[in-house]
């Protein structure tokens, strides 16, 4: 071969990581011999390693024009096409590589992995088996086979394959991590923990393994141990965004506020400098601006971006096909809010489907929600690509995401753009960012026009509160106060929010209120009997001069019984910057007034939206001093409290907040306006305040 020695020198420099010098050497060979396929190929690899992906693809294609049988070049072209977000083209290139080298286990394993990424699970299984047939000790082949089997819910087979992969490559964290996940899925959490502990003994400096271990501890009901393990993962990798996110969340969940301020500042600093994989959901619960939250969401969305050449499907004709995407079609707050709306959709104008990513808990709520839809599609366990493919095949016109960036969400489905129009509603109080959806549904309180620049979506403002509520929610009469641990004559302040919404500044205000109303108690929610947050919150109260016995905890209970508790509560004290959302409307439906502090973000303005719609705008304040003053004044004025409760139990029950029909019609008007904008080729804000008449 001409220029053989020159090529070997260039290749040696390349192997040393001297990319600039290697490229110049390859380029010199190409200038002297434009037909030198290998120089073209490897110069393309250098360009890819340097981030110049379009030029890299051009070089490697040129090499393949000269030497089309090079499986390595086809494989490297696939790698470049992946970087260019052209996954289908990458699959085609890897198929060509495997056709040229049918016995190459590496090529088969790479193709299997790429097929998995595209949701081609059955074909991926077949190709992974080809890798194993070529080399029975190929760990990547076994690993991809395990994932393909897991996606088909063949968990026992998947565990066998993952066990083989882990045994062949014990130093590979992902293999042990998958094995542990599968063991946990088979209800063997202790076995999974042992797997991870063994893997960590071999790889003590592996942040991914430590993170997996922390996640398993968290899902096993060991939040304190999980928080310590997340902190260890963060110590191993200071830029591990998921570990920092979960550590912040768990410390708030535990009401363990030591070092919380510093961790949250570290989080905000990471967002400011563009650190990836910091949870937008976690950020909504800490002091932050709308601009901060949008940047965080955009960074999160950038990691999920779909193929560069993806095209939106067209709108269909006839009824508008609406699909709701959620993991919460069971006994969950979202279902409690929206079940009535699902049932009331106008089937003359809309064909309504559900795509359920969450569990079937066999509950009455699950049965009710399934009945509410014309089509209920269980996509639990499927890869995002498979879910998106099903939605696209069903020709959904308007996909309504109900999860956003909360637990169980699949924003990757949204990134794959399976519907002509994509909307976010109800599940996440803020922008989804990253161009994931076209519209975000709010109202003039949570998403005023002045805030539009901090949302990547066009804003839709419903005429009342954005939050739909179901009028079919029963309330069970509660046990007497004494049975609940409440003093008979005390003023009962309550907050039944999840503990991660509580913060030191909120406890400061509550302590001031309790000191000024010495006959009062504070009633909080405990998720379980031995919730670690109970001890921590009582200690925080004591540190502020409040007798710990004045902090009373109510254990979790079925929804009708939980709603009944509000009969014994005199005033709900809202949290900030993430306030009561479903919990706020729970209290109002049960007749308990809610005092809320309005902030600057969606999450901090929901209470104000609810109060306005239910008819108690006087319970919205704009600073902490007013919050404390008004709480104390109401505690000392039983007549005002009685009047508020009567108002909520009478006109409040009939108010716009609980008018399911009205909110459903408003949503439908919004959907039709979105469709009309799409047909005109536009996208802009939609304001329905004057468009929907009550009860129409």
Angle at 444 between CA 439 and CA 448, to 5 degrees: 75
User: Which band of pLDDT confidence, cut at 50, 70 and 90, is reported for residue 222?
Assistant: very high
How much is the pLDDT for 695? 39
Give the contacts of 425 (CB within 8 A, at least 6 positions apart): 400, 401, 402, 440, 441, 466, 667
Query: Is the distance from CB of 632 to CB of 518 less than 8 angstroms?
Result: no
pLDDT(1) > 80: no
Q: Is the pLDDT of residue 565 over 60?
A: yes
pLDDT at 88 over 90: no
Overall average pLDDT of the 540-566 stretch: 96
How confident is residue 48, by pLDDT bands cut at 50, 70 and 90? Answer: very high
53-76 mean pLDDT: 95
Residue 305, pLDDT > 80, answer no
- The CA-based angle 298-304-305, given to 5 degrees, is 85
Q: Does the pLDDT value for residue 549 go beyond 60?
A: yes
Give the bridge partners for 400, in sequence order. Answer: 324, 423
Q: How far apart are CA 110 and CA 131, in angstroms?
A: 9
SS3 354: strand
**Structure tokens, 181:** 């996940």
Tell me phi and psi for residue 143, to 5 degrees: -65, -50
Q: Are 30 and 39 in contact (CB under 8 A)?
A: yes
Mean pLDDT to the nearest integer, 380-387: 88
Q: H helices then E strands: how many in the chain?
A: 30, 14
Does position 308 have pLDDT exceeding 70, yes or no? no
Mean pLDDT of the 278-285 span: 97
Alpha helices in 352-447 (DSSP H): 364-372, 384-393, 411-415
Domains in the chain, start-ordered, CATH in brackets? 320-462 (3.40.50.11380), 481-658 (3.40.50.2000)
pLDDT single digits (tens) 630-665:
999 999 999 999 999 999 999 999 999 999 999 999
- Whether the pLDDT of residue 327 is over 70: the answer is yes
Residue 694 has pLDDT above 70, yes or no: no
Per-residue pLDDT tens over the stretch 249-267: 999 999 999 999 999 999 9
Mean pLDDT of 596-602: 98
pLDDT at 693 over 60: no
So what's the pLDDT on residue 332?
A: 94
Q: Average pLDDT of the chain?
A: 94
Residues 94-114: tens digit of each pLDDT: 999 999 999 999 999 999 999
pLDDT at position 393, please?
Answer: 97
Instruction: Look at residue 7 and give its three-state secondary structure.
Output: helix
Give pLDDT tens digits for 168-189: 999 898 999 999 999 988 878 8
Work out the average pLDDT over 164-169: 96
Under the banding of pLDDT at 50, 70 and 90, the label for residue 2 is low
Spatial separation of the C-alpha atoms in residues 361 and 376, rounded to whole Å: 15
- Residue 591: pLDDT band (50, 70, 90) is very high
- % of the chain surpassing 90 pLDDT: 89
| Position 690 pLDDT exceeds 70 | no
- pLDDT greater at residue 611 or residue 407: 611
Mean pLDDT along residues 109-126: 92
Cα–Cα distance for residue pair 254/510, rounded to 1 Å: 18
Residue range 669-678, pLDDT digits in tens: 999 999 999 9
pLDDT at 696 over 90: no
The answer, yes or no, to whether residue 691 has pLDDT greater than 60, is no
pLDDT of residue 209: 93
Residue 547's Cα: distance from chain center in Å?
Answer: 38
Helices 173-185 and 139-151: crossing angle in degrees, nearest 10, is 30
d(CA 440, CA 672): 15
HSE of 607, CA atoms in CB hemisphere, 13 A: 28
Model confidence band, residue 334 (pLDDT cutoffs 50, 70, 90): very high
pLDDT band at 530 (very low <50, low <70, confident <90, very high): confident
pTM above 0.85, yes or no: yes
The pLDDT of residue 531 is 87
């Amino acid at each position: 071969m001409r220029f053989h020695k020159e090529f070997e020198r260039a290749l040696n420099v390349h192997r040393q990581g001297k990319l600039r010098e290697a490229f110049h050497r390859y380029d010199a060979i190409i200038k002297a011999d434009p037909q030198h396929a290998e120089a073209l190929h490897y110069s393309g690899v250098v360009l890819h390693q340097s981030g110049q992906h379009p030029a890299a693809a051009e070089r490697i294609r040129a090499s393949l024009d000269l030497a089309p049988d090079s499986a390595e070049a086809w494989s490297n072209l696939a790698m470049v096409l992946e970087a260019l977000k052209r996954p289908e083209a990458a699959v085609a290139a890897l198929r060509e590589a495997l056709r040229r080298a049918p016995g190459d286990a590496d090529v088969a394993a790479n193709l299997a992995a790429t097929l998995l990424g595209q949701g081609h699970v059955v074909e991926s299984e077949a190709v992974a088996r080809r890798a194993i047939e070529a080399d029975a000790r190929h760990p990547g082949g076994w690993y991809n086979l395990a994932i393909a089997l897991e996606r088909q819910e063949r968990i026992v087979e998947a565990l066998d394959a993952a066990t083989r992969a882990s045994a062949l490559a014990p130093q590979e964290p992902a293999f042990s991590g998958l094995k542990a996940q599968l063991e946990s899925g088979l209800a063997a959490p202790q076995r999974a923990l042992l797997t991870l502990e063994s893997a960590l003994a071999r790889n003590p400096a592996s942040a991914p393994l430590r993170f997996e271990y922390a996640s398993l501890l968290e899902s096993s009901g060991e939040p304190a141990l999980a928080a310590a393990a997340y902190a260890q993962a963060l110590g191993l990798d200071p830029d591990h965004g998921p570990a920092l996110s979960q550590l912040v969340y768990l410390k708030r969940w535990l009401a363990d506020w030591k070092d919380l301020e510093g961790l949250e500042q570290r989080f905000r600093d990471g967002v400011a400098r563009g650190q990836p994989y910091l949870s937008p959901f976690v950020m909504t619960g800490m002091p932050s601006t709308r601009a901060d939250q949008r940047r965080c969401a955009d960074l999160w969305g950038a990691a999920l971006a779909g193929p560069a050449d993806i095209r939106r499907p067209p709108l269909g004709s006839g009824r508008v096909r609406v699909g709701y995407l959620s993991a919460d079609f069971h006994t969950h707050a979202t279902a409690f809010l929206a079940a009535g709306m699902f049932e009331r959709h106008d089937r003359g104008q809309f064909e309504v489907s559900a795509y359920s990513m969450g569990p079937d808990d066999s509950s009455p709520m699950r049965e009710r929600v399934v009945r509410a839809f014309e089509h209920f599609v269980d996509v639990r366990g499927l890869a995002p690509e498979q879910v998106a493919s099903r939605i696209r095949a069903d020709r959904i016109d308007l996909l309504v995401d109900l999860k956003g960036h909360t637990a169980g969400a699949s924003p990757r489905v949204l990134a794959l753009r399976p519907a002509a129009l994509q909307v976010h509603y109800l599940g996440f109080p803020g922008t989804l960012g990253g161009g994931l959806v076209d519209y975000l549904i709010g109202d003039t309180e949570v998403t005023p026009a002045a805030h539009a620049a901090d949302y990547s979506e066009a804003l839709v403002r419903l005429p009342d509160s954005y939050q739909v509520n179901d009028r079919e929610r029963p309330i069970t009469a509660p046990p007497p106060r004494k049975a609940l641990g409440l003093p008979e004559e005390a003023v009962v302040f309550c907050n039944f929010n999840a503990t991660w919404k509580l913060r030191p500044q909120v406890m400061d205000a509550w302590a001031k209120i309790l000191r000024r109303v010495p006959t009062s108690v504070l009633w909080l929610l405990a998720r379980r009997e031995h919730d670690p947050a109970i001890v921590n919150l009582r200690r925080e109260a004591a540190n502020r001069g409040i007798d710990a016995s004045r902090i009373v905890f109510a254990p979790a209970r079925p929804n009708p019984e939980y709603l009944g508790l509000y009969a014994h509560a005199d005033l709900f004290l809202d949290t900030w910057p993430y306030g009561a959302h479903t919990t706020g409307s729970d209290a109002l439906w049960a007749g308990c007034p809610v005092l809320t502090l309005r902030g600057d973000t969606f999450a901090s303005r929901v209470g104000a939206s609810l109060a306005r719609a239910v008819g108690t705008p006087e319970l919205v304040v704009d600073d902490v001093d007013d919050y404390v003053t008004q709480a104390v004044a109401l505690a000392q004025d039983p007549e005002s409290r009685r009047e508020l409760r009567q108002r909520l139990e009478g006109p409040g029950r009939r108010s716009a907040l609980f008018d399911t029909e009205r909110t459903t019609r408003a949503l439908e008007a919004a959907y039709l306006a979105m469709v009309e904008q799409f047909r005109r080729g536009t996208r802009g804000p939609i304001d329905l305040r004057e468009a929907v008449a009550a009860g129409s």
